Structure 1
Amino acid sequence: MEFRLSDTQRALVGSVRELAQGRFRQRGLRWMDGTFPWENIRELASLGVLGMSVPEEYGGMGLAVFETALVLEEIAKVCYPTAMAVLGEAGVQTRVIAKYAPESIRSRILPQVCSGDCILSICMTEPHAGTDVANYRTNAVVKGDRVVVNGVKTLISRAEEAGMFVVFTRIDGKPGREGIGCVLVERGTPGLEVTGTYHTMGGENLHEVQFRDMEVPLENLVLREDGFRRLLTAFNTQRCLNPAISLGLAEGAFDETLRYVRDRTIFGKPIGDFQGARWKLADMYKDIEAARGLLYRACMTADPFPDPFLAATAKVFCNEMAIRVTNEAVQLHGGFGFTDEYPVSRLYRGARYGSLGGGASETLRDLIGKKLMAEDPGPDGILARGYF
């Protein structure tokens, strides 16, 4: 097996790394008050990476999930809010539009995604249901050539900046999973209102979005029949891109810590010369490398969406690894690690999000366990699940 990036992949990663380390790193503290990182987004648009998930015919790069994960990893090393902003352009919402929206919407919206002129927001969580998608109360009623939507979404990223919302909703009141579909809603549509704001420990703002007798054209109902299955199939992409951010946060914290323990001295020698510190560094490194292997393997199964079992496994491990590694980074920085001025503080706060968004760790552990219990291991055992 070949574990090297191609020349094209290295060039992509190198260009993003140069921008992130050269510009974004020094701006990291600027976005912690909830300010959207427009300056960073425009510079990334100039590289073309906002169109990573957009097909080439609409001005995008049409990259695979793996390359998209590599880019998010580099950005997350220095700036969690920027990585989350890019996730909004490269994640499941873009792929839903590219795969399921009618041509009239694709040709108008996707080029604006590439240029950074249209920020996308995905609306899933409701006040009474997060992971429990089958119990969503938001409802879209088809009336002739129009769709009328009523409901409330909460903890929604990028709602203040979004030009289009990708809304998971019930269709015609049909109960259970079979009733879930997807509606596209453009900003400025009468009946759409962005209300409450929640400032997160990671720095970004989340919002409440309300729909009151909001009408959209029937063509905006992009998923109806078999909508739940197709949405969750697409959502497996998020379960690779979310952990890519976790991996980047851990790597960034590790890099900052290595620099610090080499330069900072106590009792007459660098912190890194003490065995206790070296053991922490060793554990941090092995955790990062184990997570990288799981994540990259899951990404490589995408055709066009990743294997749900491997994506769930990678997400749980990467999310929890990032919390461990960034926590140790703060510890090795001592009191300085607790201050805003040192990046490890911000990376630690960002890492806490991973296991909450895109499927909670508890839910995904249950998914993994059910799959293991239901599957016939065959003569080669459960670990030979066709991936080797």
Structure 2
Amino acid sequence: MQLTEEQRLLVRSVRDLAQNEIKPNAIKYLDGTFPWENIRKLADLGVLGMSVPEEYGGLGLSILDTALVLEEIAKTCYVTAMAVLGEVGVQTRVISTYAPEHIKADILPRVCTGEALLAICMTEPDAGTDVASYRTNTRRAGDRVVLNGTKTLISRADEAEMFVVFTRVDGTPGNKGIGCVLVPRTTPGFAVTGRFHTLGGEYLHEVQFTDCELPAENLVLAEDGLKKLLHAFNTQRCLNPSISLGLAEGAFDEARRYMQERTAFGQPIGDFQGMRWKLADMYKDIEASRVLLYDACVSADPFPDPLKAAVAKIFTNEMALRVTSEAIQIFGGFGFTDEYPVSRFYRGARYGTLGGGTSETLRNLIGKRLMAGADAPDGILGMNGY
């Protein structure tokens, strides 16, 4: 697959900013400091509006374009890449696809400028992947709805202005009862009740909704909304691994440079066959992941194919763990220190298999789809569409 000239220009502009201005300061975000200065610079480039339709001031770019940009940012700073993901990921696409017009017109232009950050609330203290067990509930009451519940491990909760909340509707049990409600930060009864510092450096939070009263139109998806939400969530299953791919590439670049500069027994360590094989395996894995991920991204219409997205996410997330770990090995003891970026790439890579659908959940999804398609007319499920 060849990138267009417009895509190459986009990548180059983001790469220049990331390498020259974001990378030199990446270490300071390990303590949980939110990267506001990077967010503002990226907003000036138009990056935060990539997923926002043009009529609201955005660029309306494809999922592949968005993945390419996240990949470049992740090569330099995991924390910044995750902050950007909150503006270009599924929460933005849920709002632009399902929210009432006045909410779109209010918040989407401010997403583009970095004035309004978004957060998605899925996981609960007692339920993550098991959506059918969610206890958070939105009760309809005439022209209002009332939200109660607790969500946890939420990104950007200290900074976000709008929360896209997966919720049960009117107590309806099981998957059929899941919908989505939009909650402004200023809503009475909303509170951030806890936070957790992560291995990657950023904070995750617990948020609580206590009798949060909202206009009925904020309930943007009601009964059987889960299917639509999961279709949209396949976007995240392409953008999450784009960060993993960037982290692996960043670690690879650092390892290759170190192998050229570091000497042992009178020669660069890159002259040893064993070290070259490490580099070859890292490169092989990165390029295989790239093919799978880009293919999943271009399948979007408007959201990516679930099977392609699941395969790309598992493979790329797990690849990033191998490659970043091998980069640390190449650096030796220095790789274990915070001062060298390879350890930070590894910290970030560890999140990939956890967020956006765990590898275990996605393997179940893939297996189910393969069994359902075992009798495909051409005999090879993966060849459909080629």
- Per the normalisation by structure 1, the TM-score is 0.98
1:239 paired with 2:237, answer yes
Counterparts in 2 of 1:39-188, with a 5 A limit? 39-188=37-186
CA distance in 2, matches of 1:188, 1:35: 23
Give SS of 1:160's match.
Answer: coil
- What residue ranges of structure 1 are gaps of 5+ in the alignment? none
| CA distances 1:131-177 after superposition (whole Å, capped 9, x unpaired) | 11111000000011111011000000000000000000000000001
After TM superposition, list the pairs within 5 Å mapping 1:317-328 onto structure 2.
Answer: 317-328=315-326
Contact preservation (8 Å) 2:374, 2:381: no
| Deviations 1:3-36 (CA, angstroms, capped at 9, x unpaired) | 2211100010000000000011101101111110
Structural RMSD (CA): 0.8
One-letter code aligned to 1:149: L
Spell out the pairing of 1:1-388 with structure 2 (5 A cutoff). 3-388=1-386
**Partners of 2:192 and 2:383 in 1: how far apart?**
45
1:168-188 Cα distance to aligned partner (Å, 9 max, x none): 000000000100000000011
Tell me the CA shift for residue 384 of structure 1. 4.6
SS in 2 for 1:140: strand
**Aligned residue type for 2:18:** A
Whether the 8 Å CA contact 2:373–2:381 is kept in 1: the answer is no
Once residues 280 and 49 of structure 1 are traced to their aligned partners in structure 2, the CA distance between those partners, rounded to angstroms, is 34
Deviation at 1:383, TM superposition (A): 4.2
2:161 alignment partner, SS class: strand
| Amino acid in structure 2 at the alignment position of 1:193 | A
Matched residue type, 1:209? V
Shift in Å, 1:321 = 0.1
Deviation at 1:225, TM superposition (A): 3.2
- Mapped to 1, the partners of 2:384 and 2:371 lie a distance apart of 17
- Given that 2:378 and 2:384 are in contact with CA atoms closer than 8 Å, whether structure 1 keeps it comes out as no
Q: What is the CA-CA distance between 1:195 and the residue it aligns to?
A: 1.2
Partner secondary structure for residue 313 of structure 1: helix
Q: Secondary structure at the match of 1:125?
A: coil
Question: Per the alignment, do residues 378 and 218 of structure 1 end up closer, same or farther by CA in structure 2, a change over 3 Å counting?
Answer: closer
Alpha carbons of structure 1 residues 222 and 97: separation in structure 2 relative to 1, 3 Å = same
* Letter in structure 2 aligned against 1:21: Q
Residue 379 (structure 1) shift: 4.5
Partner Cα separation in structure 1 for residue 296 and residue 212 of structure 2? 39
SS at match of 1:149: strand
Q: 1:254-304 CA deviation, whole Å, 9 max, x = no partner?
A: 001110010000111111111110010010000000000000000010011
Matched position secondary structure for 1:320: helix
Number of matched pairs: 386
Quote the offset at 1:226 in angstroms.
2.5
Matches of 1:48 and 1:375 in 2, distance apart? 41
TM-score by length of 2: 0.99
What is the identity, as a one-letter code, of the residue corresponding to 2:374? D
Measure the CA separation in 2 of the matches of 1:115 and 1:19.
17
